[in-house]
């Protein structure tokens, strides 16, 4: 497993890391009773960067991570997030200092730890000035409750403004072969500032693995409402996934491994965090760090998945709330 730095925080993590959201919800039925076994297997394989958020499972995901951390705290870098507040069937974004301080205390309690390694603003509320929000986050660092600060789905301008208030260790955003928006400016800003770019959904929410049968998804799987999994967009994206599968077979790898290796080759600042609940997928994804793509391989993938080639928006309209443009 490769090691990569979270900016200038002094923290280094496995690459890939592990996105933990799916253990609690969004991808169909879950079994949180067996989830600790999968998480423990991830640690055995070398994963030590676990990504969660207070809104995943309404706090249950953090509690799950907390159970796994017992007796292992010094072996794991824990990232969690604040900012998306779910109330009944609605959600809102809150970046106010009072809210983020209370959210941090609640996350610490659920995780059962004294310090969060990496604390992200999950989504930006433009009504709260960046200096006000980041200043409040910095006070958590001063109080010893947080080690490093992160932002999620922000523009290069927001990143630069935040970094001027307090060093930002990482920006999390969707980045994959079929979501290349960070290349429009955000990735360059991360390089300039020496900030890690943590890539969530690096396998296109599983679609790039070629193993997702959209018609068989559970009724409560959020991908059923995702524009990329519907109609003409789905047909176009299936053709892309099939081409990736053929490319991978020629190189003796899986499509998921190729997709992760492509990301790892983009920049030493990029840290993908694929999520899976299956031990065999954990091992497969970990092995992607050992797959060396040639310059010709990378050029071929860049051409196959040229920006804008994937069809459909990343989210349904409601899910785009708080997502800033990666261009700049």
Q: Which residues are catalytic?
A: 56
Cis peptide bond upstream of 16, omega within 30:
yes
Q: How far is CA 210 from CA 90, 248, 312, in A?
A: 32, 11, 18
CA distance 80 to 104: 9
Burial of 277 (0-12, 13-18, 19+ CB in 10 A): middle
Which residues are CB-neighbours of 87 under 8 A, at least 6 positions away?
none
- Write out the E strands in the chain: 2-5, 12-15, 18-19, 49-51, 77-82, 84-87, 90-93, 116-121, 146-152, 168-174, 196-200, 270-272
């Amino acid at each position: 497993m490769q090691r990569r730095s979270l900016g200038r925080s002094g923290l280094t993590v496995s690459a890939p890391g592990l996105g933990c959201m799916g253990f609690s919800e969004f991808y169909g039925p879950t079994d949180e009773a067996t989830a600790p076994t999968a998480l423990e297997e991830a640690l055995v394989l070398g994963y030590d960067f676990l990504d969660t958020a207070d809104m995943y499972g309404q706090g249950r995901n953090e509690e799950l991570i907390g159970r796994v951390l017992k007796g292992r705290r010094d072996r794991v870098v824990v990232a969690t997030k604040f900012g998306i507040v779910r109330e009944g069937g609605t959600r809102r974004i809150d970046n106010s200092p009072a809210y983020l301080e209370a959210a941090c205390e609640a996350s610490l309690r659920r995780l059962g730890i004294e310090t969060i390694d990496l604390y992200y603003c999950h989504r930006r509320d433009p009504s709260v000035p960046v200096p006000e929000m980041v200043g409040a986050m910095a006070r958590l660092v001063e109080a010893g409750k947080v080690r490093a600060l992160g932002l999620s789905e922000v523009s290069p301008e927001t990143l630069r403004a935040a970094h001027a208030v307090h060093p930002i260790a990482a920006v999390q955003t969707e980045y994959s072969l079929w979501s290349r928006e960070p290349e429009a400016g955000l990735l360059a800003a991360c390089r300039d500032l020496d900030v890690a770019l943590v890539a969530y959904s690096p396998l296109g929410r599983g679609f790039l693995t070629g193993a997702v049968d959209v018609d068989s998804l559970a009724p409560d799987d959020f991908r059923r409402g995702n524009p990329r999994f519907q109609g003409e967009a789905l047909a176009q994206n299936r053709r892309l996934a099939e081409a990736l599968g053929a490319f991978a077979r020629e190189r003796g790898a899986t499509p998921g491994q190729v997709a992760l290796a492509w990301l790892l080759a983009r920049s030493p600042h990029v840290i993908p965090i694929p999520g899976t609940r299956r031990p065999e997928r954990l091992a497969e994804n970990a092995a992607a760090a050992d797959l060396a793509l040639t310059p010709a391989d990378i050029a071929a993938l860049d051409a196959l998945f040229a920006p804008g080639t994937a069809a459909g928006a990343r989210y349904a309209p409601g899910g785009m709330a708080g997502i800033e443009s990666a261009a700049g």
